[in-house]
Structure 1
Amino acid sequence: MTTVYSWRAKPDRIAEFAEWARGATAEAARFPGNLAATVVHNEDSRDFHVVHQFATRRQLRDWLDSPEREKWLRHARKLAATKTAQQHRTGLETWFHVPSEAAATMKPPPRWKMWLISLVAVYPLVLAFQAWVVPLTAAWPLWARSALFPVVLLTSMTYVVMPLVTRLLRRWL
C-alpha cells in the first residue's frame, strides 16, 4: 500500500520543511511493515511529496493514526503553505504515477498499457536474473532462492526500471 502526501512549503521555510520531511520519513521507516519512506523534491520548487509504502493496509493505517505521525503533522502545518494533494495507491498504478499538481487530477494509464510496459520492463530483468543469479544460488534451499527473486525483481522495478521507463514513455502513457 502506497500513500503520497504533497505539500507546498512556505517560501521562507523551504529548508526547514526539507529537514521536517527527512525527520518524518525517518520516523515512518521505524514503523512495522514499512517498505519505504521517501521524499521527492526538486531544489527549485517549494513542493514536497512524501511517499510511504507499507506491506499491508493495516500497517499503513497504524502509521497514519499514530501519535508519532500526528506530532510531525502539527509541525508541518507551521512550515507549509498548504497540503496540495493526498493519494493512496495499490497495485501497478503506483509504478505509473508521479505526484504533481497536474497529476493529482489525472487518471492512471489504461490497464493494458500498464500491463504491456510492465511485461516489456520485467522480461530483461527476469532474463538477467535467470542467466546470472540462478546459477550462483543453485545450491541454496528452495525457500531462499524463491525469496531472492521477488526481492530483486520488485526492488529493481520499483526504484530503477519503472521510474525510468515511465519517464521515457510519459507521452504515450
Structure 2
Amino acid sequence: MNEVNSVARILHCHAKPGCAPQCQALLQQLLGASSQLPGCVFAGLVPPASPQGPHQLVQRFAAAADLARARAAPEWAQWHARLEQVAAVLDCGPVEGLQTWSAPPVPVMVPPKWKLTVVSWLGIFPLVSLSLGVLGPLLQSWPFLARIFVVTVLVVSLMSYVVMPRLVAWMAWWLRRN
C-alpha cells in the first residue's frame, strides 16, 4: 500500500441523551463490517475522551477509489441512518495521504486563554512562593542571575511535568465548561 495515496474517513458520533450504549454497540458492529469493505486496511474505534465526548470510528482505505466505492454502497446509507437515530454524526473525510497518520483523532476543545491563565497562576504562585521560601536563604550568597536561573528551572520543570498535568485534570470540569 502506498501511504501517500491512502485516504481515511473519520466519523464523530455524539450519542444522544440516553443512547450511549446503543451508539457504542452500533459503532462496534460498523467496526466489524469495516473489515469486509474492499480496500479498507484499518478500522478502529476511539472511545470518548470524556463522558460527553464523541465516539470516533476511523477507517483507512488504500486509495480514494476504495473509499468512494464504500460510500456508494447501499450499506453506507443504512449505517448512517441507523447511527443518526442514536447519535449526532459528523463524517470527516476524506483525509488523504500522510495526513491520515498525523491528523488528530479527537477534535480538541481549547479553553479560553483567561481560564488557562488562571490555572497556570494557580500552579505558578505556590511553586514560586515555596521555591523562594525554601531556596532563597540557601542561595542568598549566589549571584542574582544564578538564583533566578535555579528557581525558574525548578518552577518550569515542576509546572510542565508535575503540577500542570494534575491541575488540568483536576480543573477539567471548569476548563471544558462554556
TM-score, L = length of structure 2: 0.52
Structure 1 residues not aligned, in runs of 5+: 104-173
Q: Quick one: which amino acid aligns to residue 78 of structure 2?
A: K
Shift of 1:99: 3.0
| Aligned counterparts of 1:72 and 1:45: Cα–Cα separation in 2 | 22
The Cα of 1:100 is off from its aligned counterpart by 2.6
Cα distance in 2 for partners of 1:47, 1:83 equals: 9
Q: Are 1:24 and 1:69, in contact at CA under 8 Å, matched by a contact in 2?
A: no
Q: Which runs of structure 1 show a deviation greater than 4 angstroms over 4 or more consecutive aligned residues?
A: none
Verify: 1:61 aligned to 2:68, yes or no: yes
Q: Give the Å deviation of 1:11.
A: 2.1
The 5-angstrom pairing of residues 118-157 of structure 1 reads none
- Conserved? CA contact 2:23–2:86, under 8 Å: yes
Structure 2 CA distance for aligned equivalents of residues 48 and 14 of structure 1: 9
Structure 2: tracts of 5 or more residues without a match? 1-6, 110-178
**Mapping of residues 90-101 of structure 1, within 5 Å:** 90-101=96-107
The corresponding residue for 1:32 is: 38
CA contact (8 A) 1:85 1:101 kept: no
Q: Which residue of 1 aligns with 2:93?
A: 87
Residue 51 (structure 1) aligned with residue 58 (structure 2): yes
TM-score (norm. length: structure 1): 0.53
Aligned equivalents of 2:69 and 2:36: distance in 1?
12
2:11–2:56 Cα contact (<8 Å) kept: yes
Distance 1:5 1:49 in 2: 5
Aligned Cα root-mean-square deviation (Å): 1.9
Distance 1:39 1:100 in 2: 11
Question: Percent of pairs identical after alignment?
Answer: 20
CA contact (8 A) 1:13 1:79 kept: yes
Task: Look at both structures and tell me which one has the larger radius of gyration over its CA atoms.
Answer: 2
**1:64-123 Cα deviation digits (max 9, x unpaired):** 12111211111111001x2245132122222222233337xxxxxxxxxxxxxxxxxxxx
